[in-house]
Amino acid sequence: MLRLRGCGCAASKPARQPSVRLPTEGRASSVRRTQQTDECKTALFEATTDDWLPPKEKHVLTIVRLAGEEKTAAQVDAELTKRLQACRSSASATVAAKALLVLRRVASAGHVASLSQAVRELAAVCCEPQGRHAQGEYVSECAGFMRALCQWSGVGTLRDADGHAGRAWASRTVRELAAELPRLQGLTAVALECASLGCSTNGALQALRVEIVEDALCLFRLEANAAATLQAGLMALPLAAVAARGGGALELLETFMMHARRAVALHGALADDVSGAQPTAGLDAVLERRRLWPSPSATSAHAEAPARARDDGGDSDDGGGRGAVSAVSALTSDDGWGMNRSPLPVPLMEEVCSSSSRSLSWRTTSSVSSKHEIATSSVSSEHEIDTSSVSSKHEIATSSVSSKHEIATLCATLSATDDPRWPPMASDGL
């Protein structure tokens, strides 16, 4: 029997609703991974665009955040490796400089372990022989420095050179320093070389240089702490360890002095750049944070030195020993630039303190007496010299006359003998 729609004799069934499938956990995870991959690709692309502007900070921070997350760290490494693989020609120096800056920021944040592929790729950056130019050469040298730095165990704590990392190097034993200092000095030498680049119109290269400048100042500070510890224990080393070639204590200290001269020159150039008409962007903040002379941490280091000396078995503060130096170590003098000089060395400080307790009248009397003695001695010496000179001249003249008379007599005698063995001689032959 046919049933008509809308007929009241039979109840109509409700319309069937389409079923909605909820996403499973696997699909949700896949969606998140896709979103994170897109975020990583977008941030890296925006941070390494081929223009002369430095990377935008928000894109760099996004990459650093993703590199610190376990689920996205491998993706950052893969995308950064692809970007570096496209920078083997010097024509891509600008893109390579931005990629190096991003890599350095990730490493300084403590995520260098997740950049294994990208670090290996640094060896080929801007290394193709075709079309090489100055910017490509500089970026290639910076890539080599980055590779060596990322393979160094202390890269994660380098930017803490003013804190725990610096104190750790200062507290190492001399034997540990002899083993670890050569590699630190190698990194310092390359960093100082890369940081010495002059001003450039390429903002990407300038941003990369600012990063390396901070590395160079931090590396030199660590080297200075290590050299101070090594010099303090120099006299306790055996002679072979002091004079050995290729890692001896003297050789390490000589290398440090060479780096110190380069660091002084770099520090002066950076100060001139910051105070110039067109300072490099970001360099003033780095110099304020990492300045070497005067060093912000030097005051605390000098203040702790007397205490360390006493702890190491130095003389106690009994009023007359080396412990008394702590009472006068606060004496400083204004150097004319609104800053205090470092405390004087111990012998000179003791001499200054002892001489300051003497009266001014004693110094004046001593000075007058000394001047009188010097004047009297000078007059006496001049009189003796004049007398001696006259006497010597008289003796020389008398001796000359006597010699001439004897020679003339001898000539006359020989002429009178007519001895054929002696030829005739004139009496005034001399």
Structure-token pair, residue 374: 């010097």
Give residue 138's pLDDT. 95
Amino acid in the structure at residue 352: V
Contact predicate 223/256, CB 8 Å: yes
DSSP string, 163-181: THHHHHHHTS-HHHHHHHH
Euclidean distance between CA atoms 145 and 299, whole angstroms: 32
The residues facing 334 across adjacent strands are 340
Query: Which whole-number Å values give the CA distances from 56 to 43, 64, 112, 239, 364, in the listed order?
Result: 10, 13, 21, 55, 69
Q: Which one-letter DSSP state was computed for residue 156?
A: G
Give residue 336's pLDDT. 34
Give residue 398's pLDDT. 54
Query: Which whole-number Å values give the CA distances from 201 to 94, 143, 204, 277, in the listed order?
Result: 12, 20, 9, 14
Task: List, run by run, the mean pLDDT of 10-residue segments along the chain (430 residues).
Answer: 50 59 57 73 95 95 95 95 96 96 95 95 95 93 96 93 90 91 96 89 94 97 95 93 91 97 95 92 93 73 45 43 36 37 40 43 45 52 53 53 54 48 40
Contact predicate 341/332, CB 8 Å: yes
pTM: 0.65
Instruction: Give the rounded distance of the alpha carbon of 3 from its chain centre.
Output: 97
Contact predicate 282/207, CB 8 Å: yes
The residues facing 340 across adjacent strands are 334
Give residue 200's pLDDT. 85
Amino acid in the structure at residue 132: R
* Sign for the pseudo-dihedral over CA of 167, 170, 175, 178: positive
E strands along 49-152, which residues? none
Give residue 267's pLDDT. 94
Domains with residue ranges and CATH for the chain: 35-151 (1.25.40.90), 156-309 (1.20.58), 385-430 (no CATH)
Give residue 330's pLDDT. 36
Instruction: Provide the 3-class DSSP secondary structure of residue 272.
Output: helix
Nearest CA among 57, 67, 166 for reference residue 110: 67
Euclidean distance between CA atoms 215 and 204, whole angstroms: 17
